[in-house]
Structure 1
Amino acid sequence: MERTAVNPRDWSLKLGYNQAEVTRGAARQVVCAGQTAVDGTGAPQHPGDMRGQIGLALDNLEAVLTAAGMGLGDVTRLGVYATDVDEALKNFDLLGMRFGQYNSAPPMTLLGVTRLAIPGLMFEIEATAAV
Structure 2
Amino acid sequence: MNTSTPTTARINPSTWNAPFRFDHAQLRPAPREVLTIAGQASVDDDGRVLHEGDVAAQLSLAVHHVEEILARVGMTLADTFSLTIYTTDIAATLAAYEALTERLDAHDATPPAALVGVAALALPGLAVEITAQAGR
TM range (shorter): over 0.9
2:114 aligned to which of 109, 114, 128:
109
| TM-score (normalised: structure 1) | 0.95
Aligned residues: 131
The list of structure 1 runs, each at least 4 consecutive aligned residues, that deviate by more than 3 angstroms after superposition, is none
1:21 lines up with 2:26 in the alignment? yes
How far 1:95 sits from its partner (Å)?
A: 1.1
Corresponding residue for residue 11 of structure 2: 6
Q: Which position in structure 1 is the counterpart of 2:47?
A: 42
Name 2:72's counterpart in structure 1: 67
For residue 99 of structure 1, the aligned residue among 80, 94, 104 is 104
The two structures have a TM-score, normalised by structure 2, of 0.92
Q: Which residue of 2 aligns with 1:53?
A: 58
Q: Which residue of 2 aligns with 1:84?
A: 89
Pairwise CA distance, 1:42: 1.0
- Cα distance in 2 for partners of 1:123, 1:82 equals 5
Q: What residue identity is the alignment partner of 1:39?
A: D
* d(CA) in 2 for partners of 1:24, 1:46: 39
Counterpart contact for 2:58–2:127, Cα < 8 Å? yes
CA distance in 2, matches of 1:25, 1:82: 30
- CA drift at 1:69: 2.4
The C-alpha deviation readout for 1:63-109, integer Å capped at 9, x for no partner, is 11112221111111001100000000001111110011111111101
Can you list the C-alpha shifts for 1:15-66, whole angstroms capped at 9, x where unaligned? 2210000111422110100100001111110010001101110111111111
SS at match of 1:11: coil
- CA–CA distance in structure 2, aligned partners of residues 120 and 68 of structure 1: 30
* 1-structure distance, mates of 2:123, 2:30: 38
Q: Distance in 2 between matches of 1:25 and 1:73?
A: 15
